[in-house]
Structure 1
Amino acid sequence: FLQHSYTMRDARLHVRHVRNLLRSLDPADAYNGVNCSSLSYLSVFTSRYEGDAPLGPTHSLWTAALQTRCSPENSANWQPLQCLRVLTTSSWNPPPGNRKMHGDLLYLHVLTIEDRELNITSSTRGFYLNQSTAFSFNPKPAVPKILCHSLVELLNQVSPAFKKNFSALQKKRVQQHPYERIAAPFQVFTWTAPHGDHTLDRVRAEETHTSRTGQDEHTAGQSRDWNEELQQCRELPRASLQERLHRERSIFKVTNSDFVAAATRGAVAVVDGNVMPLNPGESPHMQMFMWNNIFFSLGFDVSEHYRPLGGNTAAHAAARCDLRGAQAYAAVDPDGLHTLGTAVVDYRGVRVIAQTIVPGILEKNQEQSVVYGSNDNGKTVLTHPRFLELLDKANRSLRIQRHQVLDHHGRPVELCSGMETIGILGNDGRPYILDLLRTFPRDLNFQFTEDQVTEEAPQECRSSGFPRPHRHSLASLRPELIQAFVQHRRGDVSKSARRNATLRACKAVGSVSDSHFDIRFNPDVCCPGTEWTSSLTHSEWHALHATPCQ
Structure 2
Amino acid sequence: PHPFLYKMYPYTVRDARLHLRHVRDLLRSLDPSDAYNGVNCSSLSYLTFYTKGDKASEKESSDCSPPDYILPGCKDRPLIPLQPFRDDCKPLQCLRVLTMSSWNPPPGNRKMHGDLMYLNVLTMEDKELNITSSTRGFYLNQSTTFNFNPKPALPKILCHSLVELLSQVSPAFRKTFSALQKKRVQQHPYERIAAPFQVFTWVARHGDHTLDCVRAEETHTSRMGQDEHTAGQNRDWNEELQGCRELARNSLQERLHRERSIFKVSDFVAAATRGAVAVIDGDVMPLNPGEAPHVQMFIWNNLFFSLGFDISEHYSPLGGNTAAHAAAICDLRGAQAYTSVDVEGLHTLGTAVVDYRGIRVSAQTIVPGILEKNQEQSVVYGSSDYGKTVFTHPRFLELLDKTSEPLRIQRHQVLDHRNSPVELCSGIETKGILGNDGRPYILDLLRTFPPDLNFQFSETEERREVPKECLLFGYPRRHHHSLASLRPELIEAFAQHRYELYVKMVSQDLIQTEEHDKALEQRIGDAATSVADMEFQRRSVIMKACEAVGSVSDSCFDIRFNPDVCSPGIQHTCAQTHILLCL
State the TM-score, normalized to the length of structure 1. Answer: 0.92
Deviation (angstroms), 1:61: 7.2
Q: 1:214 & 1:63 partners in 2: Cα distance?
A: 42
- Contact in 2 for aligned 1:323/1:342 (Cα 8 Å): yes
Deviation (angstroms), 1:217: 5.7
SS in 1 for 2:131: strand
Please tell me whether residue 50 in structure 1 is matched to residue 50 in structure 2: no
Equivalent position of 1:258 in the other structure: 267
Deviation (angstroms), 1:199: 2.1
CA change 1:58–1:125 in 2 (3 A) is closer
Please tell me whether residue 178 in structure 1 is matched to residue 218 in structure 2: no
Asked which structure has the greater CA Rg, the reply is 2
Task: Select between 503-512 and 91-100 the one with higher mean Cα deviation.
Answer: 503-512
CA change 1:130–1:362 in 2 (3 A) is same
Equivalent position of 1:290 in the other structure: 299
Please tell me whether residue 153 in structure 1 is matched to residue 164 in structure 2: yes
SS in 1 for 2:117: strand
SS in 1 for 2:565: coil
SS in 2 for 1:491: helix
Equivalent position of 1:549 in the other structure: 582
Q: 1:216 & 1:342 partners in 2: Cα distance?
A: 20
- Contact in 2 for aligned 1:270/1:289 (Cα 8 Å): yes
Q: 2:165 & 2:243 partners in 1: Cα distance?
A: 47
Equivalent position of 2:12 in the other structure: 7
Equivalent position of 1:166 in the other structure: 177
> What is the letter of the counterpart of residue 206 of structure 1?
E
Equivalent position of 1:397 in the other structure: 406
Please tell me whether residue 95 in structure 1 is matched to residue 101 in structure 2: no
Deviation (angstroms), 1:283: 0.5
**1:146-295 superposed matches below 5 A:** 146-212=157-223, 215=226, 219-254=230-265, 257-295=266-304
SS in 2 for 1:35: coil
SS in 2 for 1:303: helix
- Contact in 2 for aligned 1:88/1:206 (Cα 8 Å): no
- In the TM superposition, what whole-angstrom CA distance separates every residue of 1:222-253 from its partner, at most 9, and x where no partner exists? 11111111111111111122322332233233
Equivalent position of 1:366 in the other structure: 375
Equivalent position of 1:345 in the other structure: 354
Deviation (angstroms), 1:69: 4.9
- Contact in 2 for aligned 1:485/1:547 (Cα 8 Å): no
Task: Select between 8-17 and 488-497 the one with higher mean Cα deviation.
Answer: 488-497
SS in 1 for 2:51: helix
**1:462-481 superposed matches below 5 A:** 462-481=471-490
Equivalent position of 2:451 in the other structure: 442
Q: 2:59 & 2:558 partners in 1: Cα distance?
A: 46
Question: Given the alignment, which residue of 568, 571, 574 partners 1:528?
Answer: 568
Structure 1 portions without partners, runs of 5+: none
Deviation (angstroms), 1:386: 0.2
Deviation (angstroms), 1:462: 3.4
- In the TM superposition, what whole-angstrom CA distance separates every residue of 1:162-187 from its partner, at most 9, and x where no partner exists? 22222222122222222221112222
Equivalent position of 1:118 in the other structure: 129
CA change 1:62–1:211 in 2 (3 A) is farther
Equivalent position of 1:505 in the other structure: 545
Task: Select between 201-210 and 369-378 the one with higher mean Cα deviation.
Answer: 201-210
Equivalent position of 1:28 in the other structure: 33
SS in 2 for 1:187: coil
Question: Given the alignment, which residue of 41, 57, 65 partners 1:59?
Answer: 65
Task: Select between 381-390 and 229-238 the one with higher mean Cα deviation.
Answer: 229-238
CA change 1:327–1:55 in 2 (3 A) is farther
State the TM-score, normalized to the length of structure 2. Answer: 0.87
Deviation (angstroms), 1:68: 7.7
Equivalent position of 1:107 in the other structure: 118
SS in 1 for 2:250: coil
Deviation (angstroms), 1:294: 1.1
Q: 1:191 & 1:510 partners in 2: Cα distance?
A: 43
Task: Select between 460-469 and 326-335 the one with higher mean Cα deviation.
Answer: 460-469
Q: 2:381 & 2:60 partners in 1: Cα distance?
A: 55
CA change 1:62–1:216 in 2 (3 A) is farther
Please tell me whether residue 354 in structure 1 is matched to residue 363 in structure 2: yes
Q: 1:547 & 1:504 partners in 2: Cα distance?
A: 20
- Contact in 1 for aligned 2:35/2:43 (Cα 8 Å): yes
Deviation (angstroms), 1:432: 0.4
- Contact in 1 for aligned 2:452/2:581 (Cα 8 Å): no
Question: Given the alignment, which residue of 385, 401, 418 partners 1:376?
Answer: 385
CA change 1:216–1:61 in 2 (3 A) is farther
Task: Select between 370-379 and 146-155 the one with higher mean Cα deviation.
Answer: 146-155
Equivalent position of 2:442 in the other structure: 433
Task: Select between 421-430 and 40-49 the one with higher mean Cα deviation.
Answer: 40-49
> What is the letter of the counterpart of residue 349 of structure 1?
G
Deviation (angstroms), 1:508: 2.5
Q: How many residues align?
A: 537
Q: 2:485 & 2:142 partners in 1: Cα distance?
A: 70
Structure 2 portions without partners, runs of 5+: 71-79, 511-537
Deviation (angstroms), 1:419: 0.7
Question: Given the alignment, which residue of 310, 313, 322 partners 2:322?
Answer: 313
Provide the identity percentage: 75
> What is the letter of the counterpart of residue 352 of structure 1?
V
Deviation (angstroms), 1:216: 5.1
SS in 1 for 2:442: strand
Task: Select between 395-404 and 21-30 the one with higher mean Cα deviation.
Answer: 21-30
Task: Select between 208-217 and 511-520 the one with higher mean Cα deviation.
Answer: 208-217
SS in 1 for 2:275: helix
CA change 1:288–1:480 in 2 (3 A) is same
> What is the letter of the counterpart of residue 160 of structure 2?
H
CA change 1:161–1:464 in 2 (3 A) is closer
CA RMSD of aligned residues (A): 2.2
Task: Select between 228-237 and 448-457 the one with higher mean Cα deviation.
Answer: 448-457
> What is the letter of the counterpart of residue 11 of structure 1?
A
- Contact in 1 for aligned 2:411/2:424 (Cα 8 Å): yes
